[in-house]
Amino acid sequence: MKRIILTYSLLIGSLFAALPLEAQQTLQSGAAVRSSDVYRQRDSVIVRMQLDLTDMEVASNRSVVLIPQLESGDRRLELPAVEVMGRRRQLYYERNGQQKYAATPWHVIRHDRERTQTVDYRTALLYEDWMDHALLGMTEDLCGCGEVNPGNQIALQQADVAFRPQLAYIAPEVEVEKRRALSGEAYLDFVVNRTDINPAYRRNPDELARIHASIDTVLHDRDFHITRIALCGYASPEGTYRNNTRLAEGRTEALKAYVQTRYGFVDTMFVTRFVPENWEGLRRYVAGSTLSGRDSILALIDSDREPDAKERVIRSRYPEDYATLLAECYPGLRRTDYRIDYTVRSFSVDEAKKVIRTRPQNLSLDEMFAVAQTYEPGSNDFKQVFDVAVRMYPDSEVANLNAACALLEQGLTEQARPYLDKAGNSPQADNARGVFLRMQGRYDEAVECLRRAADAGLEEAVSNLSGIELDRL
């Protein structure tokens, strides 16, 4: 079975101590930095920014060069620049294949006054010790002539790029056909020794209404398609086994005919079976009772005697207990179990984003996972998807692992603990447990888990082991 692994970097604690700056920083040219981020990934430092060029003023024959930089003490490193060109300058650039200022810009773009312009900036640097608390800033050359005014500089982010552990999510297997079932129990009342259903008899209106409601729930949902209706009828042990066989079978078939007539279902949609005497249910009742002959009756139920002989001995030896069983237990043994099998159609990602908020039970794990990929890792929306997934599929190791990882993304270690307990023994689960233990400061235990995952070939675990070594320096 092939599993797809997705990884995200984990922010432990407060790795970024943002300066008390505005949400959006604006340069003299009108260029704005909407957001910035600096983090470490293995031996690299990643710098991300979103630049808004919409309000920039750029002369037609000029360039404005935006120059990010990292600075710490006497160390300064200019990062790849973004050169924003006017119309005539862009034409010159295209004809000559060279820039006037930035020799190796990260991005060259022609300024357009008529539309919104944004740039998602991302670059990677080789990590050096001096970068640990470096200040990320931005300056600009307003003429594209190599002259930078220090007064044009803005401060964006002071970062601690201590090692950031990584988590490995597992993409669930695709559920090609989503099969679901709705089950219930009906306690219909029949005239003694009869098998025909009287809809108005005693409790039957309420019991039949319960069956109708179950079927209607599935039948009237355009996303569902009923594939089968399974019925199983039970009779109680009093009377002869032969007659109880007739009653159990006949009453089951009577309910089938009732449902078939009401809804017009074809005969092949039904699967029926019957249990002539519900000894299993009787045993459960006696085992949990305070009957004086409890242990002896249980021994009789478990014996190899014929059903009629068992019932006769219980009736004759324990008359008071038998009277209690007749009044309190036997009516509940006469029931019909029903199960409506159906399939659920597949949903697109956009549809699934709506369904997960209203009827998440209609989504498969892989559909929920696809929804999660539309959100920023570590965000509340991202976490909530995996929270819903594990509530819908509480026994799934994949769902539990991913829920734990999403919580660890937000530093919620104690909330992640119960999901880690049910996450299985995959390398990804060992890696997540290692991250959990590291966040609690239990380094020796963390190393043990991470080493198992690393030995299994999980790159994230190898990286996390390196991070612990850095922490200990």
Quote the mean pLDDT of the chain: 87
- Average pLDDT for residues 199-215, to the nearest whole number? 95
Rounded distance, CA 405 to CA 24, Å?
31
Domain 178-343 in the same topology as domain 17-159: no
Q: Quick one: 290 exposed, middle or buried, by C-beta within 10 A (0-12, 13-18, 19+)?
A: exposed
Name the DSSP class of 180.
E
pTM: 0.62
Percentage of residues in the chain having pLDDT higher than 90: 62
pLDDT at 171 over 70: yes
Rounded distance, CA 340 to CA 226, Å?
7
pLDDT at 20: 36
Candidate from 119-133, 178-192, 317-331, 333-347 with smallest mean pLDDT: 119-133
Q: How far is CA 418 from CA 10, 216, 377, 403, 405, in A?
A: 19, 37, 21, 10, 12
DSSP H or E run through 194: none
Q: Alpha carbon 349 to chain centroid distance? A: 14
- Average pLDDT for residues 409-427, to the nearest whole number? 92
Angle at 244 between CA 238 and CA 250, to 5 degrees: 145
The domain made up of 17-159 is a member of CATH 2.60.120: no
Rounded distance, CA 128 to CA 238, Å?
84
Q: How far is CA 365 from CA 142, 168, 384, 387, in A?
A: 52, 17, 14, 12
Q: Alpha carbon 160 to chain centroid distance? A: 31
- Average pLDDT for residues 41-59, to the nearest whole number? 84
- Average pLDDT for residues 215-241, to the nearest whole number? 95
- Average pLDDT for residues 199-212, to the nearest whole number? 95
- Average pLDDT for residues 212-222, to the nearest whole number? 95
SS3 382: helix
Rounded distance, CA 295 to CA 34, Å?
75
Closest by CA to 469, choosing from 166, 168, 162, 167, is 162
> Higher confidence at residue 140 or residue 285?
285
Tokens of 8: 């995200």
pLDDT at 192: 87
Rounded distance, CA 108 to CA 112, Å?
13
pLDDT at 289 over 70: yes
Q: pLDDT tens for residues 349-362?
A: 999 999 999 999 99
> Higher confidence at residue 230 or residue 42?
230
Residue with the two structure tokens 């449902």: 259
Q: Regarding beta strands 224-234 and 270-275, do their DSSP bridges make them parallel or antiparallel, or are they unpaired?
A: parallel
Closest by CA to 11, choosing from 168, 164, 167, is 164
- Average pLDDT for residues 134-144, to the nearest whole number? 86
SS3 16: strand
pLDDT at 307: 95
pLDDT at 412: 87
pLDDT at 131: 85
pLDDT at 162: 57
pLDDT band at 255 (very low <50, low <70, confident <90, very high): very high
Percentage of residues in the chain having pLDDT higher than 70: 89
Q: Quick one: 23 exposed, middle or buried, by C-beta within 10 A (0-12, 13-18, 19+)?
A: exposed
pLDDT at 267: 95
> Higher confidence at residue 97 or residue 20?
97
> Higher confidence at residue 419 or residue 12?
419
pLDDT at 2: 39
pLDDT band at 347 (very low <50, low <70, confident <90, very high): very high
Q: Regarding beta strands 166-171 and 135-141, do their DSSP bridges make them parallel or antiparallel, or are they unpaired?
A: unpaired
Closest by CA to 274, choosing from 258, 251, 256, 257, is 251
Rounded distance, CA 275 to CA 325, Å?
19
Q: Quick one: 116 exposed, middle or buried, by C-beta within 10 A (0-12, 13-18, 19+)?
A: exposed
pLDDT band at 153 (very low <50, low <70, confident <90, very high): confident
pLDDT band at 164 (very low <50, low <70, confident <90, very high): low
Q: Which amino acid is at 460?
A: E
Q: pLDDT tens for residues 370-396?
A: 999 999 887 889 999 999 999 999 999
Q: How far is CA 450 from CA 155, 360, 458, 464, in A?
A: 38, 34, 9, 7
pLDDT at 103: 55
- Average pLDDT for residues 34-53, to the nearest whole number? 82
Classify domain 169-173+364-472 by CATH architecture: Alpha Horseshoe (1.25)
CATH level 3 topology of 178-343? 60s Ribosomal Protein L30; Chain: A; (3.30.1330)
- Average pLDDT for residues 331-348, to the nearest whole number? 95
pLDDT at 12: 32
Query: Domain residues of the chain, as ranges?
Result: 17-159, 169-173+364-472, 178-343
Residue with the two structure tokens 């692992």: 401
- Average pLDDT for residues 427-440, to the nearest whole number? 94
Closest by CA to 297, choosing from 317, 281, 277, is 317
Candidate from 21-35, 277-291, 338-352, 410-424 with smallest mean pLDDT: 21-35
Rounded distance, CA 383 to CA 415, Å?
12
pLDDT at 4: 45
DSSP H or E run through 290: none
Compute the half-sphere exposure of residue 366: CA atoms within 13 Å on the CB side of its CA: 14
Name the DSSP class of 197.
-
